[in-house]
Amino acid sequence: MNDLHQLTIGQAHQLLKEKRISSVELTKASLAHLAKVEDKVRACVTISEDTALKQAREADKAISSGKIKPLTGIPALIKDVMCTKSIRTTCSSKILENFIPPYDATVIEKLKAEKAVILGKTNMDEFAMGSSTENSAFFPTRNPWDLGRVPGGSSGGSTVAVATDEAIYALGSDTGGSIRQPAGFCSVVGLKPTYGRVSRFGLVAFASSLDQIGPVTKNVADSALVLNVIAGHDNRDSTSAPHPVPDFTKSLTPDLKNLRLGIPKEYFVEGMQKEVRVSMETAINKLEELGAKVDWDASLPLTKYALAVYYIIAPSEASANLARYDGVKYGFSYQDTNNMWEAMEKTKQFGFGAEVKRRIMLGTYALSAGYYDAYYLKAQKVRTLIRREFAQAFDKYDALVTPTSPTVPFKLGEKADDPIQMYLSDVCTLPINIAGLPAISVPAGFTDCLPIGMQIIGKPFDEETILRIAFAYEQATDWHQRKPPI
């Protein structure tokens, strides 16, 4: 048997069900391991040990009375952008440093209904704005494959926690790549479901037409298990979809016969690292061996506009969403003045970090009278065209395959002062959010011991097909079994 903290959800569930281990044992093992590695990687903002142990005891009680569900008793970490009742939720921002939500996000309620164990909250780029987790107001998280490098972002804390076995699985959020890009950088499985598949009630909003919550796991079967639990319509999120939720684990079959895969050439971008290209070619050949029909000449010419469209729409929505942090309702509040305007100004000045301010300014500019038509409206029109282009591609293909990121993890500090370079690390993931599609990143290779991820993109509400492809690929390779040297 593996050390307990190294188990997958599937393995842990089996052992819990057979009563060969208890949730308290498993939770203690995870917490003890977390305490050992956390100093090196710093994936967590808050560790809620007492609540976790209490939840574990309750899970054990449920199990002993025969009530066990797939996530019962299994320890998870949650990106600190999802509200957790009585556990502070900071978004890795000073402005929410001491914010303790009075309610749970829907996804947290759903985990609790399964009697899952929540170990704590993970570090992220402030308000999910970034690609390296260096924009956290508290500390950067480090990549366990090379502590001098970034884990990706903004869900870097969650992907590092899973890569290092601090937790059995984690939840992340993805607005333009924030689950998939760090999953690729840390060699774990990261799934962004279709827009609307998972309720965002209680997810602190960044860009509401793009945000989605998804699982970060050690393998594809676990991803399907977590999606089963968190997916579904929610009256409290008017954008959540009424679509029925299938049992995603049923789609996990090890062959790809008759599946048509498109490889859009625009995703093999200029400036892409040679080793990434080579790994992708090898990985796609493997998919062909497994029975898929691969078209290497697929094309999505509008891809080149996706980055610009994203960096108008996302900041515009962010500037509206972040207006609520005025120091009046909740969060940090500047008190050293009797002037209301000065109080609001200083609250934001001291509460927000540089990247968040940059986004608010970009968004406010794009939405202001005189610029609205030229920027925001134009971006929305191009967004429609990008969506249509994907829809047309899906007449021909069942899924599209691309690299998750054009490079392997970069060095800490390397792009911190160059926002454009940082934005470019999401060129392969942003278009998927613009079109609201589901996509998964799976481990697909290494170069110099640094991970490379492969992205599989599906039709709206067809997570089943991308999980199936990811599963077949995983069964045929062993990248996901490698552990970081920590």
Q: Does 439 bind ligand GLN (CB under 6 A)?
A: no
Of 14-22, 91-99, 169-177, 324-332, which part binds ligand GLN (CB under 6 A)? Answer: 169-177
From the list 176-184, 223-231, 259-267, 292-300, the region that binds ligand GLN by CB under 6 A is: 176-184
Of 71-79, 128-136, 263-271, 438-446, the segment contacting ligand GLN by CB under 6 A is: 128-136
Distances (CA, A) of 353 to 94, 203, 328, 358: 8, 20, 19, 9
Using the rule CB under 6 A, is 156 a contact of ligand GLN?
no
Catalytic (active-site) positions: 79, 154, 178
Residue 240 contacts residue 202 (beta carbons within 8 Å)? no
The residue among 74 and 439 lying less far from ligand GLN, judged by its C-beta, is 439
| Residue closer to ligand GLN, measured from CB, 9 or 213 | 213
Binding region for ligand GLN (CB under 6 A) out of 82-90, 171-179, 301-309, 334-342 = 171-179
In the complex with ligand GLN, which residue's Cβ is closer, 154 or 219? Answer: 154
Nearer to ligand GLN, 320 or 486 (CB): 320
Neighbours of 364 (CB within 10 A): 16
Exposed e or buried b for every residue in 100-109, given b needs 16+ CB within 10 A?
ebeebbbbbb
In the complex, the smallest distance separating the C-beta of residue 20 from ligand GLN, rounded to whole angstroms, is 39
Task: Kindly tell me which of 205 and 486 has the beta carbon lying closer to ligand GLN.
Answer: 205
Nearest CA-CA partner of 441 in 428, 459, 424, 453: 453
- By CB under 6 A, residue 126 contacts ligand GLN: no
Residue among 155, 87, 94 nearest 125 (CA): 155
Nearer residue to ligand GLN within complex by CB, 93 or 131: 131
Nearer to ligand GLN, 211 or 398 (CB): 211
**Measured CA angle at 388 (ends 371, 179), to 5 deg:** 80
Contact 189, 183 (CB under 8 A): yes
- The three state secondary structure string of 330-376 is CCCCCCCCCCHHHHHHHHHHHHCCHHHHHHHHHHHHHHCCCCCHHHH
* Residue 163: half-sphere exposure toward Cβ, Cα within 13 Å: 36
Chain-centre distance of CA 313, in angstroms? 19
Q: What are phi and psi of 151, to 5 degrees?
A: -90, 0
Choice from 166, 174, 222, 462 touching ligand GLN (CB under 6 A):
174
If binding is defined by CB under 6 A, does position 130 make contact with ligand GLN? yes
**Interface pick for ligand GLN out of 75, 120, 156, 176 (rule CB under 6 A):** 176
CB of 82 to ligand GLN, least distance (A): 13
For residues 285-314, which are near ligand GLN according to CB under 6 A?
314
Q: Indicate whether 319 belongs to the interface with ligand GLN (CB under 6 A).
A: no
Give min distance, CB of 428 to ligand GLN, in A.
12
Binding mask 369-408 for ligand GLN (x = CB under 6 A): ----------------------------------------
Shortest distance (Å) from residue 206 CB to ligand GLN: 6
Structural tokens at position 417:
């002062």
Instruction: Return all residues near 407 (Cβ < 8 A) that are at least 6 apart.
Output: 272, 273, 276, 425
Q: Which of residues 410-429 bind ligand GLN (CB under 6 A)?
A: 426
Task: Give the other-Cβ count within 10 Å of 267's Cβ.
Answer: 23
CB 416, min distance to ligand GLN, A: 13
Instruction: Identify the residue among 75, 151, 157, 177 touching ligand GLN (CB under 6 A).
Output: 177
Q: Which is nearer to ligand GLN, 256 or 424 (CB)?
A: 424
One-character DSSP codes across 361-419 = HHHHHHHSTTTTIIIIIHHHHHHHHHHHHHHHHHHH-SEEEEESSSSSPPBTTSSTT-H
# residues near ligand GLN by CB under 6 A: 13
| In the complex, least distance from residue 175 CB atom to ligand GLN, rounded to whole angstroms | 3
- List Cα–Cα distances, 374 to 1, 238, 270, 316, in angstroms: 61, 29, 28, 13
Instruction: Assess contact for 283 and 247: CB atoms under 8 A.
Output: no
Among 27, 55, 154, 441, binds ligand GLN (CB under 6 A): 154
Distance in Å, CB of 5 to ligand GLN, minimum: 28
175 contributes a contact to ligand GLN by CB under 6 A: yes
Which of 7/161 has CB closer to ligand GLN? 161
**Distance, CA of 118 to CA of 108 (rounded, Å):** 9
Angle between helices 378-396 and 303-321 (to 10 degrees): 130
CA-to-CA dists, residue 122 to 155, 187, 210, angstroms: 8, 17, 21
Q: Are 13 and 76 in contact (CB under 8 A)?
A: no
Piece of the chain touching ligand GLN by CB under 6 A; list 90-98, 123-131, 136-144, 320-328: 123-131
Structure tokens that stand for 16 in this block: 């819990």
Does 90 bind ligand GLN (CB under 6 A)? Our answer is no
Q: Tokens at residue 92, please?
A: 């890795």
Interface residues toward ligand GLN, by CB under 6 A: 128-131, 154, 174-178, 206, 314, 426
